[in-house]
Amino acid sequence: MNKNIRKRKNQNEEPKSFLESGLFKFLMKSALAVIVAVFLLTLIQCTVKEPQAPKWSSSLVIPVVNRTYTMEEFMSKIDQNGLGVDSQGTMTYSFDKELDTVTLSADILTSPDFSHSLYDSLGPIDINPPVSSPLQVNLTSIGGLASGLPGDSAFVPATDFNIVNDIPTVTSYTIVTVATGQLLAIVDNQLNINLDTLIIQIFDLNLLKFVATDTFPAGLASGTLDTLPISLDGETISSDLRLISYCYTQGGIVDSASTRYLTTSMAYSDIFTISSAHTEVPATTYIFTDQTQLGESELIDSALLSSGSIQLSINNGWDGTYKGRKLNTAVFAWYAEVEFEDGSKVYRKGNVTLIR
* Residue 101 pLDDT: 57
Question: Residue 6: which residues within 8 A CB-CB, separation 6 or more?
Answer: none
Please say if the pLDDT value at position 340 is more than 80. no
3-state secondary structure the chain: CHHHHHHHHHHHCCCCCCCCCHHHHHHHHHHHHHHHHHHHHHHHHHCCCCCCCCCCCCCCCCCCCCCCCCHHHHHHHHCCCCEEECCCCCEEECCCCCCCCCCCCHHHHCCCCCCCCCCCCCCCEECCCCCCCCEEEEHHHCCCCCEECCCCCEEECCEEEEEEEECCCCCCEEEEEEEECEEEEEEEEECCCCECEEEEEEEECCCCEEEEEEECCCCECCCEEEEEEEECCCCEEECCEEEEEEEEECCEEECCHHHCEEEEEEEECCCCEEEEEEECCCCCCCCCCCCCCCCCCCCCCCCEECCCCCCCCCCCCCCCEECCEECCCEEEEEEEEEEECCCCEEEEEEEEEECC
Query: What's CA 217's distance to the chain center, in Å?
Result: 47
Between 90 and 47, residue with greater pLDDT: 90
In this prediction, residue 290 carries a pLDDT of: 66
pLDDT tens column, 278-328: 766 666 665 666 666 666 566 666 666 666 666 666 555 566 777 778 878
Among 7-16, 84-93, 143-152, 305-314, the least confident range: 7-16
Q: How far apart are CA 230 and CA 182, in angstroms?
A: 5
Distance (Å, rounded) from C-alpha 192 to C-alpha 194? 7
pLDDT at 164: 93
Which residues of the chain are in CATH 2.60.120 domains? 125-279
* Structure confidence by residue, pLDDT tens digits, 204-227: 999 999 999 999 999 999 999 999
Q: Over the chain, what is the mean pLDDT?
A: 76
Split at pLDDT 50, 70, 90, the class of 263 is: very high
Q: Select the more confidently predicted residue: 15 or 219.
A: 219
The model's pLDDT over 22-79, given as tens digits with 9 standing for 90+, comes to: 676 777 777 777 787 777 777 666 554 555 556 656 565 656 556 676 767 766 777 7
* pLDDT attached to residue 58: 58
The residue length of the chain stands at 356
For residues 104 and 94, give the distance between their C-alpha atoms in angstroms, rounded to a whole number. Answer: 22
| Residue scoring higher pLDDT (159 or 324) | 159
Choice between 29 and 167, residue whose per-residue pLDDT is larger: 167
User: Given the DSSP bridges, would you call strands 147-148 and 154-156 parallel, antiparallel or unpaired?
Assistant: antiparallel
**CATH number for domain 125-279, candidates 2.60.120, 1.20.1410, 3.30.1380, 3.30.70:** 2.60.120
> Over 50: is that where the pLDDT of 1 sits?
no
pLDDT tier, 3 (very low <50, low <70, confident <90, very high otherwise):
very low
The confidence score (pLDDT) of residue 2 equals: 45
Whole-number Å distance between alpha carbons of 175 and 204: 11
